Structure 1
Amino acid sequence: MKANLPFERVLLTGAAGFVGFHVAEALLDAGVEVFGIDSLTPYYDPALKQARLDRLQAHNGFSFEKHDIADYDGFEAAFAAFRPQVVIHLGAQAGVRYSLDNPRAYASANLDGFLSVLEACRQHPVDHLVYASSSSVYGANAKVPFSEHDRADHPVSLYAATKRANELMAHAYSHLYAIPTTGLRFFTVYGPWGRPDMAYFKFTKAILEGQPIDVYAEAEMSRDFTYVDDIREAIVKLAGLPPVADPNFDARDPDPATASAPFRIYNIGNHTPVRLDRFIAVVEEACGRKAIKRHLPSQPGDVPATYADVGDLAARTGFSPATPIEQGMARFVEWYRSFYHI
């Protein structure tokens, strides 16, 4: 049944990725035509990306082209041919630790790639550009919960710096060309069809195989784990709510979350941080086995805690994520066992 969404055609980058796959399914189930783009990089198991893509291609209304969005000409031609009303940009090079080893991948995918998206939206105007940022932009901020209205100018990883740069680039294009842009700061997304480089995926795999898990600074770490169904609901709701210029914006005391242009930033998190030791206990319970822990110090680029203030998201959409970690991890482990035939 078609949902009451104010758009019918969406171009979605990162369609074979974790969040992109879930958003695409939600849009297709709502009767929206989705044109997916992905470069299918081998950053993690390409077979998992292909399995997601196979499911999407079974839907009516889904089409796909493989593109590296940093290669503007091919991407722009596909964009122009499809003529989307809304663009949801989720394609990026993810991962904090990988950015220590391969920084140029982040400059290409996250900076050059995002510039391609912005330029395509300028050349072929759209109703709304929604793009993925990250809670990593809060970096060295110690004030919690993290608020979009606080400055986020001290990233502690290159990945975070590229995501903060995306927000600034979006603001410039909103100001110069009146493109409505909404940046979404995701907080530790998890769930079925997830990313193998994420801790919850690695923990599950190791525990079920009887292998040790690497635990970094267990007593110091906490994360605002956000179930993927909550993420996709927030994205779909916000996609139909393009921002307008804030009439109360004060250039003498600028609010980082709004602007005198059609620009907005929202946190999307569960607003319930979970300590790492508690999280491991939840994974153990979902797996029905105890973990073998290998304790290690914190890694460069790690932040000790993340905690989302989602008041603005709730005020704008009437929705805030609330899936308990126990429920979400049980669903993930059930999917993992099924997908990998365990």
Structure 2
Amino acid sequence: MKKILVTGSAGFIGYHLTKALLERGDQVIGYDNINDYYDVNLKYGRLNELGIKRELVKNHQLVLSEQYPNFRFVKADLCDRDYLYQLFEEEQFDHVINLAAQAGVRYSVENPQAYIDANIQGFLNILEACRHYPVKHLVYASSSSVYGSNTQMPFSVHHHTDHPLSLYAATKKSNEMMAHTYSHLFNIATTGIRFFTVYGSWGRPDMALFLFAEAIRKGEKIKVFNQGEMERDFTYVGDIVKGVMAALDQPATSNAAFDTNIPDAGSSNAPYRLYNIGNNQPVKLLDYIKALEKAMGKTAEKEFLPMQPGDVQKTYADVQDLINDFNYQPNTPLEKGIEEFVSWFIEYKNKKKA
């Protein structure tokens, strides 16, 4: 049994990962500030699925799950350094998975300060806590957005990523650089996971699949950016969870073949690693929409719009390192993943109506 802190545990990926860790027998403390970037009812709905009752959630108070004896949850902000340090000192975590972040490429254009607070200051506090209260492994969420204006496909962790196109991407790139510094200075094993367009049940309402499904349900037009000429390496959330858990179980080590004259961008002579988790198969946005239309049994009205600031035209993950190191490759077919999402989405909407 591992004792694991999962930050962002009321979030989309955090919920699924927490549930999977608990079901395999790990001891988990969930940590989330439950901010109002999107509907907090959805966040509390996820927590309810994990046995945490909304009326018991209060700042800085650990709540025991009614469903999972090995799960406790606390509402707190990563920027609250004093409380974070207190929790690390009291709980003595074996591992930390940091998923807490201000998400969203487009929102980072409108509200940049939120990204500095959550993604930079919050992550620094996590690193400092791992330094002063040592853990065996820190795994943290990065993003495919770090590839920015790169056009060499597929995107590889061995490519350099020095041209981000949004502040969100820049903060995720910064997290990778900060993690490397702490791996080098303090010998903290850190693994960064670059997620590629995650989708599935309990997804965020600001993400494309949720927005499209909601518009189709209401008979409204869906907004299709870049005139539909977009491709994404859509990745089912269950595949993301399996990849994160595989990485968690093998703490990062130094690369014995690392050459400081020709430094590899994805590893180091410090205990530091980066991995892509994507489906390794880009899909045209219009084909993604077709799969959703089929699952919902309705055709969407489409409004074609220009590319949005901060967006990239195509993402495509090279996951060879994931295969080599963990013998794992995401492989859920798009149609199956979307059917699972639609089944959950309809049930969720019907419950809200009742």
- Residues 206-228 of structure 1 show CA distances to partners (whole Å, capped at 9, x for unaligned) of 10111111110134200000000
Matches within 5 A, 1:139-158: 139-158=148-167
Match of 1:234 among 236, 243, 246: 243
Matches within 5 A, 1:37-76: 37-57=31-51, 58-76=67-85
Distance 2:33 2:92 in 1: 20
Distance 2:292 2:49 in 1: 27
- Residues 113-136 of structure 1 show CA distances to partners (whole Å, capped at 9, x for unaligned) of 000100000000000000000000
1:202 shift after superposition: 0.2
> Which residue of the partner structure matches residue 221 of structure 2?
212
Matches within 5 A, 1:303-318: 303-318=312-327
Distance 1:81 1:337 in 2: 42
Distance 1:284 1:128 in 2: 42
Matches within 5 A, 1:51-200: 51-57=45-51, 58-200=67-209
- Residues 149-188 of structure 1 show CA distances to partners (whole Å, capped at 9, x for unaligned) of 0001100000000000000000000000000000000000
> Which residue of the partner structure matches residue 265 of structure 1?
274
Distance 2:219 2:228 in 1: 23
> Which residue of the partner structure matches residue 294 of structure 1?
303
* Contact kept? 1:135, 1:187, Cα under 8 Å: yes
* Contact kept? 2:180, 2:270, Cα under 8 Å: yes
Count of aligned residue pairs for this structure pair: 336
AA aligned to 1:258 is S
Distance 2:161 2:245 in 1: 25
AA aligned to 2:335 is E
1:80 shift after superposition: 1.6
Distance 2:90 2:4 in 1: 13
> Which residue of the partner structure matches residue 4 of structure 1?
none
* Contact kept? 1:218, 1:277, Cα under 8 Å: no
> Which residue of the partner structure matches residue 10 of structure 1?
4
Distance 1:24 1:78 in 2: 18
SS of residue paired to 2:85: helix
Distance 1:252 1:10 in 2: 37
> Which residue of the partner structure matches residue 255 of structure 1?
264
Say whether residues 1:246 and 2:255 are aligned partners.
Answer: yes
AA aligned to 2:243 is A
Distance 1:235 1:218 in 2: 34
Distance 1:168 1:40 in 2: 27
1:56 shift after superposition: 1.4
> Which residue of the partner structure matches residue 23 of structure 2?
29
Distance 1:206 1:14 in 2: 27
> Which shows bigger deviation, 58-67 or 303-312?
58-67
What TM-score comes out, normalization by structure 1 length?
0.97
* Contact kept? 1:190, 1:225, Cα under 8 Å: yes
Distance 2:168 2:259 in 1: 30
Say whether residues 1:19 and 2:13 are aligned partners.
Answer: yes
AA aligned to 2:32 is D
- Residues 232-284 of structure 1 show CA distances to partners (whole Å, capped at 9, x for unaligned) of 00111110101111111111110000001000000000001000111111111
Distance 1:22 1:143 in 2: 32
- Residues 42-80 of structure 1 show CA distances to partners (whole Å, capped at 9, x for unaligned) of 001100000111121322210011111012111111122
AA aligned to 1:9 is K
Distance 1:218 1:282 in 2: 18
* Contact kept? 2:183, 2:271, Cα under 8 Å: yes
Distance 1:48 1:76 in 2: 28
Identity of aligned residues (%): 51
| Regions of 4+ moved over 3 Å | none
Distance 1:316 1:55 in 2: 33
SS of residue paired to 1:23: helix
AA aligned to 2:5 is L
Distance 1:13 1:285 in 2: 35
SS of residue paired to 2:87: helix
AA aligned to 2:202 is W
Distance 1:340 1:111 in 2: 35
Matches within 5 A, 1:319-330: 319-330=328-339
